[in-house]
Structure 1
Amino acid sequence: MQTMTTVTRTRLLAIDNLRVALTALVVAHHVAVTYGNIPMWYYTEPAQDPSGAVLDILVVFNQAFFMGFFFLISGFFTPGSHDRKGGRAFVRDRLVRLGVPLLVFLLVLRPLVTLGDHGIPYWKFYLASWDPGPMWFVEVLIVFALLYAWWRRLGRSDGQGAGGALTLKGVVLFTAGLAAVTVLWRIPVPQGTYVPVLGLPTPYFLPQYAAMFVAGLAAFRRGWFEALPRRAGTAGFVATGVASLVLLPLSGMTTGLVSSAVMALWESVVAVGMIVGLAVLFRERFDRQGPRGRFLSEHAYAVYVIHPLVLVAVAWAVKGLHAAAIVKFVLVLALSLPLCWALAYAVRSLPGARRVL
């Protein structure tokens, strides 16, 4: 009995700590976009020095795996939630926990981060640029959750009771299959595609997001998180490094469908490698929480929702500072992270806020 309690505690605390780290990475990602050369944020200062290229590399590398990891973690917690609550209560809970923050962002927070000189009346700009920003993740997650509830309602199995071991062959086949599907998907949905109104900034990554959500479902049912051997973590990081050294230069030397295929393979290897590597690392090294860890974990979702407001405010505050892009990135990140969690604490202290955040 003692062993079972320890395993459950370790699993949940390690994953909670992973969520905190990934949330901080989201903040870092958007600060990097602010000062790099990829103008896809509410406020940007395009880099005027070579250090901006370093931020661009960080953005591209993060994009290859971190949102896929979020979907995997979301998938991991989905079956247990459905089992405990039942189908109707599960759907109602998902709509509240995901839908309410989405609406609050759209109606309250987004106007605060998009105010500026647009050359047209703001109401017209607001309606013409309807966009959920980083809350696109919540949009997609609502769809995945509803599809899962529908699947269960049909009486279909999600792997419950299955105990298939996670093998190296299975991981390799999954990675290769993900790369192949991604290449085919990007023929009609090429890199750089943006979906207006829905606000999907990376629809060309949808195969990865869906695959990782399903992998999370399987990981929960089959105990893969606990069963991953330590050497799998090392192998994941090594595969990421080797793929980056070999495939990234190759993608730059090719064009067309070949370049797309090489890039898709690199992204798939990095996604699987980093997810496996970080999952093992956090399970083995970061499986405990003190008061500070619990605070960070409890407020991570709120941080994800409100962080654009903090980042834009801090970036505006240091707008007059003339420094290298990497210097402003470090400064704004160092200021923004504690401010994000402080604001999240204030928001969650409002009546009824903890019900949804």
Structure 2
Amino acid sequence: MTTATASPTSSPTTTRLGYVDNLRVLLTVLVLAHHSAVTYGALPIWYWTEPSDSPSGIALMLLVIVNQFYFMGFFFLLSGLFAPGSVDRKGPGDFARDRLVRLGVPLVAFWLVARPVLHLPSWPEHQADGESFLHFWFTVGDVGPLWFVEVLLVLSLAYAAFRALRARSTAGSRVADAGEPTAAAVDALSRPVSFRAIAGFVTLLTVATFLWRLVVPAGTYWELGGLPSPAYLPQYVILFVAGLLAARRGWLAGLTVRQGRVALVVALVSVGLALGGTALATAPGASALAQLGAALAETVFAVSMIIALVVLFRERLAGQPAWARFAARNSFAVYVIHPLVLVGVAILLAPVVAPAGVKFLILLALAVPLCWALAHILRRIPGVSRVL
């Protein structure tokens, strides 16, 4: 999710994959929608919540669950897409140091500043229990949505180590500087992706998810690291690796328009099956067969949604007018600061009496432009754009 600049491949002209940037902007907006829905839905797991079990509150809860099936895995796929070229240009060591700065600094800053600020509404309860403010500041809560940055940092460092070991094993031979994928290069290097290959990928991801959830069931929270959805770790890792491979093999360009259309139909059909399968798999005493069915339905929906969106944006939404370039430049900063904005606006909206769905729309409508405006201002501070 970090902003990466494309570098040359076979020619000095650099052209970013505009549709990939646009997808990252869409996913960032979905993150804001996700946490706005948690604020007012029937799943109160956010810093500030006004839970509702009304029809619109239930609908918001379903939106959260459907998003969870695929959108963070999609982020990891897009993040992996830019890693190989970055290592090519910088080398494994500089790439690792760059990621420690670009990902580590926002992670630490969020933990030191944003995390305790977001928990300030709960300070009176801690104070009543005799806790000191200093202890509260450094111990309350976890890294929140920055768990994504935390996991991405681990995966990026692992990839850097892999590239360093591979370079050493080949006696210092250096891979040609292929650079990060440009539109021209990916089109030139694209390889057709067959339906059989997609089915094989779905099978791999389903089996990995099923086996993992026998140990880490859906709904598990890892206090160490503050991971809210460790049940999806196989998806995150496998899609990140898929992004690494797609950068070299042109898989995104190799997807056909027909595959995109089929994927959209499959996604629309499978979303209900995924929701139903998840409900059965998370019920007390759920059988292994129910968990396998849920893993399959979720994976089919997730992969189908990703393929459908990739093809749609590649074919129809690849252009980057000035506003789209602005949104892409600031998307990572928006991700980092959005909890503060959402919670602040939600507190201001607290006196408003309206259905959950209406308040969700108001919060989202206010928070999206405000997040991007504040991110732009923040990145104008000297040195900040180096990490955001």
- SS of alignment partner, residue 154 of structure 1: helix
Q: Which residue of 1 aligns with 2:271?
A: 244
Q: Give the 3 Å change call, closer, same or farther, for CA 246–101 of structure 1 in structure 2.
A: closer
Amino acid corresponding to residue 335 of structure 1 in structure 2: L
Unaligned segments of structure 1, at least 5 residues? none
Preserved contact between residue 48 and residue 324 of structure 1 (Cα < 8 Å): no
Residue 329 (structure 2) pairs with residue 298 (structure 1): yes
Quote the Cα distance in structure 1 between the aligned partners of 2:274 and 2:241. 26
1:259 is matched with 290
Q: Residues 164, 290 of structure 1: CA spacing in aligned structure 2 closer, same or farther, 3 A cutoff?
A: closer
Question: Which residue is 2:111 aligned to?
Answer: 106
Summarize the Cα distance change of 1:163–1:232 in structure 2 as closer, same or farther, 3 Å threshold.
closer
| 2: CA distance, partners of 1:114 / 1:172 | 44
- Give the secondary-structure state (helix, strand or coil) at the position aligned to 2:122: coil
Equivalent residue number for residue 360 of structure 2: 329
Segments of structure 2 that go 5 or more residues without pairing to the other structure are: 1-9, 179-188
Contact 2:190–2:254 (Cα < 8 Å) also in 1: no
Corresponding residue for residue 221 of structure 2: 194
1:84 partnered with 2:84: no
Amino acid at match of 2:24: R
Pairing partner for 2:302 from 271, 274, 278: 271
* Number of the residue aligned with 2:195: 168
2:20 is the alignment partner of 1:15: yes
Instruction: Identify if the C-alpha distance between structure 1 residues 107 and 257 changes in structure 2 by more than 3 Å, giving closer, same or farther.
Output: same
Per the TM alignment, residue 264 of structure 1 is displaced from its structure 2 partner at its CA by 1.1
What's the counterpart of residue 133 of structure 1? 144
Q: Deviations over 1:303-354 (max 9, x none)?
A: 0000000000000001011111101100100010000001101110111011
Q: State the one-letter code of the partner of 1:192.
A: G
Match of 1:184 in 2: 211
Change (3 A) 1:321 1:76: same
Residue 35 of structure 2 corresponds to residue 30 of structure 1: yes
- Matched letter for residue 232 of structure 2: F
| Alpha-carbon distance in structure 2 between the residues aligned to 1:304 and 1:315 | 17
1:149 is aligned, of 142, 155, 160, to 160
Q: Give the total of aligned pairs.
A: 351
- Taking a change above 3 Å as real, the CA distance of residues 339 and 163 of structure 1, as seen in their structure-2 partners, is closer
User: 1:52, 1:326 within 8 Å by CA — same for their partners in 2?
Assistant: yes
Are positions 1:214 and 2:259 aligned together?
no
TM-score of the pair, normalised by structure 1: 0.93
Seq. identity, %:
49
Q: 1:224, CA displacement in angstroms?
A: 1.1
Indicate the residue corresponding to 2:5 in structure 1: none
The normalised TM-score by structure 2 is 0.86
Q: Which range moves more in the overlay, 283-292 or 307-316?
A: 283-292
RMSD: 2.1
**Counterpart AA for 2:161:** W
CA gap of 1:246–1:287, structure 2 versus 1, over 3 A, is same
CA contact (8 A) 2:192 2:255 kept: no
Partner of 1:297, secondary structure, is: helix
Residue identity opposite 1:237 in structure 2 = L
Compute the displacement of 1:48 (Å).
4.5
